A and B are shown apart, each in its own frame.
Chain A
Amino acid sequence: MRNPPSESASSNGLAFLIKNRLHSTLSEIGEACRLLAETIFQIFRPPWQFDLLMKQLLFIGFNSLSVVLVSGFFTGMVLGVQGYVQLKPYAVEGSVAQFVSVSVVKELGPMITAFVLSGRIGASITAELSTMKVTEQIDALEVMGTNPVKYLVVPRFLACSIMLPTLTIFSTFAGIFGGYVAVVSLFGFNGYFYVLEVQKNLYVGSVLISLIKATSFGMAIAAVGCYKGFSISTAGGAEGVGTATTGSAVISLITILVLDFVLNHILFNILGLI
């Protein structure tokens, strides 16, 4: 009969597991940073293939516009309803326009757009690249003397970095409009007053914050999506593609949340932007 493992043996096993996990996580972060560095280096190296960039801009931007608008609109509506209901007991329901516009511009516009795109575009980038990896298409690119990072990663990285702030502008306007529709139609709020309040509380600094955040989120989504697509082994097969795609969506979401906190701290606390 086998003896049960001693307490010190099981704690050693746990320490070994944690050490291994930490080691693999750190090496993955290192690999992802290496890919990001090579991507940035390749952006500035000719030849520049604008046709590939245009294709990705169209795919990411045009195809995501409707879902971003709908998400932004309903987020604004929810904010409008919540804001009005929460502020009314204190007799400051007139500030609902300020509440909606500040929340949407500084936080929810870039955040909702990034969440939508991480699920839609980040996962799609990983699925496409990992399928290319397991079917040896990336090896074929290399054998034909084409750098896969330049050909596949650079256009996706640039397109995400350009389209995320662009789509954030649309989702922000949709959010503010959603708040307008909600408070005017449900609570009889004065529409003219709502527009005036939004204009009064919309600063260049706020828009800048929104765009900085959105660009950073776009870079993060593309970097995670491409890294997860490239990191799969050729023998991974369909299961590997599925795992990489799910992993990409989860890691993108976590990265966006962490990045949002870091950017908020830097932009508001350290740089003192409003």
Chain B
Amino acid sequence: MISIKNVRKAFDTKKVINGLDLEIPRGETLVIMGRSGCGKSVLLKIIAGLLSVDTGEVWVDGTEITKLKKKPLNQIRRKIGMLFQSAALFDSMTVAENIAFMLDQHTDLSQQEMRKIVDEKLKLVDLHGVQELRPAQLSGGMRKRVGLARALAFNPEIILYDEPTTGLDPVTCTEINELIRDLNQQLEVTSVVVTHDMHSAFSVGTLMVMLHEGKQLAYGTPEAMINEDNPVLQQFILFGAPDQILNIDNPTLKKFTGRKPQ
């Protein structure tokens, strides 16, 4: 579904992504992990076409997007929904207007039809009666849910999540993780999740990649990542959030938490 081929991206002299290759098969949920500044969010923005690459190719659903002009790129973007770290809701609009924005811009649906879709998407993210509220009146968790509902409005085939649990309390984090997992199962979409939160990573990911110094350090299923004999990866997983990992009902993980980082 998404294929990254030898991508390089630098800001001035700082090389953020340095020859990255990555495959994200259809229907999988790939978690991108790595230390701050390793290029996780930059990679997500490259997939969304928000940032250009210096060299390399990015294929989304069979189309190479790095050299596309705005119009065909926007056609590809209609297949993509993105949940931003801060939710990025439009302050000047209500929740309903935020969710209906893409429908309003790109379809001829009537107000009534759009209202129906808005209600449907809000139900998917387990929110009710917030249609007329402004983003400033919502809590952090509610904003993320509304952001997710907006990302789902155009029935995307790919959903990109930029640190979906950052800044939320543990209970809300767990709810958001469950929501991401449920949505991926219900809608059968391909998802890419950038996160530092190991609890979140192991809750939602069916595949994982660890970025280090702009390159792929490790790639595989959560189980394979745990058994990967790489000190940088092991330290990241263990020091990331060991207590939370302990709580995951996964025998392999439980076995792993008994190991000490090298």
Question: Quick check: B105 and A144 within 8 Å, CB to CB?
Answer: yes
| Interface check B91, CB cutoff 8 A | yes
Question: Quick check: A143 and B86 within 8 Å, CB to CB?
Answer: no
Question: Quick check: A135 and B88 within 8 Å, CB to CB?
Answer: yes
Question: Quick check: B45 and A144 within 8 Å, CB to CB?
Answer: no
Q: In the assembled complex, which residues on chain A have CB atoms less than 8 Å from the CB atom of B101? A: 144, 146
The 8 A CB mask of A120-144 against B (1 = contact, 0 = none) is: 0000000000011001110110111
Q: In the assembled complex, which residues on chain B have CB atoms less than 8 Å from the CB atom of A136? A: 84-86, 88
| Interface check A243, CB cutoff 8 A | no
Question: Quick check: B105 and A143 within 8 Å, CB to CB?
Answer: no
The 8 A CB mask of A66-89 against B (1 = contact, 0 = none) is: 000000000000000000000000
Select which of A132, A143, A147 is within 8 A of B80 by beta carbon. Answer: A143
| Interface check B35, CB cutoff 8 A | no
| Interface check A145, CB cutoff 8 A | yes
Question: Quick check: B90 and A139 within 8 Å, CB to CB?
Answer: no
| Interface check B50, CB cutoff 8 A | yes
| Interface check B77, CB cutoff 8 A | yes
| Interface check B82, CB cutoff 8 A | yes
In the bound complex, what is the Cα–Cα distance between A140 and B154 (angstroms)? Answer: 14
Given A145-B102, A145-B105, also A139-B88 (CB < 8 A):
yes
Question: Quick check: B84 and A139 within 8 Å, CB to CB?
Answer: yes
Given A145-B77, A145-B78, also A140-B84 (CB < 8 A):
yes
Select which of B50, B85, B105 is within 8 A of A146 by beta carbon. Answer: B105
Given A136-B84, A139-B45, also A144-B90 (CB < 8 A):
no
Tell me how many residue pairs across A and B have CB atoms closer than 8 Å.
Answer: 51
In the bound complex, what is the Cα–Cα distance between A170 and B260 (angstroms)? Answer: 77
Q: In the assembled complex, which residues on chain A have CB atoms less than 8 Å from the CB atom of B91? A: 131-132, 135, 137
In the bound complex, what is the Cα–Cα distance between A135 and B86 (angstroms)? Answer: 7
Question: Quick check: A142 and B50 within 8 Å, CB to CB?
Answer: yes
Select which of B85, B86, B89, B102 is within 8 A of A144 by beta carbon. Answer: B102
Q: In the assembled complex, which residues on chain A have CB atoms less than 8 Å from the CB atom of B82? A: 140, 143
Q: Which of A135-174 contact B (CB under 8 A)?
A: 135-137, 139-140, 142-147
Q: In the assembled complex, which residues on chain A have CB atoms less than 8 Å from the CB atom of B50? A: 139, 142-143
The 8 A CB mask of B96-116 against A (1 = contact, 0 = none) is: 000001100110000000000
| Interface check B70, CB cutoff 8 A | yes
Question: Quick check: A137 and B88 within 8 Å, CB to CB?
Answer: yes
Q: In the assembled complex, which residues on chain B have CB atoms less than 8 Å from the CB atom of A137? A: 88-91
| Interface check B58, CB cutoff 8 A | no
Question: Quick check: B48 and A143 within 8 Å, CB to CB?
Answer: yes
In the bound complex, what is the Cα–Cα distance between A137 and B90 (angstroms)? Answer: 6
In the bound complex, what is the Cα–Cα distance between A145 and B73 (angstroms)? Answer: 8
Chain A, residue nearest B102 (CB): A144
In the bound complex, what is the Cα–Cα distance between A135 and B70 (angstroms)? Answer: 23
In the bound complex, what is the Cα–Cα distance between A252 and B54 (angstroms)? Answer: 35
Q: Which of B18-59 contact A (CB under 8 A)?
A: 45, 48-50
A224 to chain B, nearest CB (A): 22
| Interface check B74, CB cutoff 8 A | yes
In the bound complex, what is the Cα–Cα distance between A143 and B102 (angstroms)? Answer: 10
B69 to chain A, nearest CB (A): 12
A129 to chain B, nearest CB (A): 12
Chain A, residue nearest B51 (CB): A139
Chain A, residue nearest B82 (CB): A143
In the bound complex, what is the Cα–Cα distance between A142 and B71 (angstroms)? Answer: 11
Select which of B86, B89, B106 is within 8 A of A145 by beta carbon. Answer: B106
Q: In the assembled complex, which residues on chain B have CB atoms less than 8 Å from the CB atom of A144? A: 77, 101-102, 105, 154
Q: Which of A131, A146, A147 has the most CB of B within 10 A?
A: A146
Question: Quick check: A143 and B90 within 8 Å, CB to CB?
Answer: no
Chain A, residue nearest B70 (CB): A147
Chain A, residue nearest B85 (CB): A136
In the bound complex, what is the Cα–Cα distance between A131 and B88 (angstroms)? Answer: 11
Task: Give chain A's interface residues, CB within 8 Å of chain B.
Answer: 131-132, 135-137, 139-140, 142-147
9 A–B pairs (Cβ distance < 8 Å), ordered by A: A136-B85, A142-B48, A142-B49, A143-B50, A143-B81, A144-B77, A144-B154, A145-B106, A146-B102
Task: Give chain B's interface residues, CB within 8 Å of chain A.
Answer: 45, 48-50, 70, 74-75, 77-78, 80-82, 84-86, 88-91, 101-102, 105-106, 154
Q: Other than the known A142-B48, A143-B77, what 18 A-B pairs have Cβ atoms closer than 8 Å?
A: A131-B91, A132-B90, A135-B88, A136-B85, A136-B86, A139-B48, A139-B50, A139-B88, A140-B82, A140-B89, A142-B49, A143-B49, A143-B50, A144-B77, A145-B74, A146-B101, A146-B105, A147-B70
Q: Which 9 A-B pairs have the closest CB atoms?
A: A145-B74, A136-B88, A140-B88, A144-B102, A136-B84, A143-B82, A145-B77, A137-B88, A143-B48
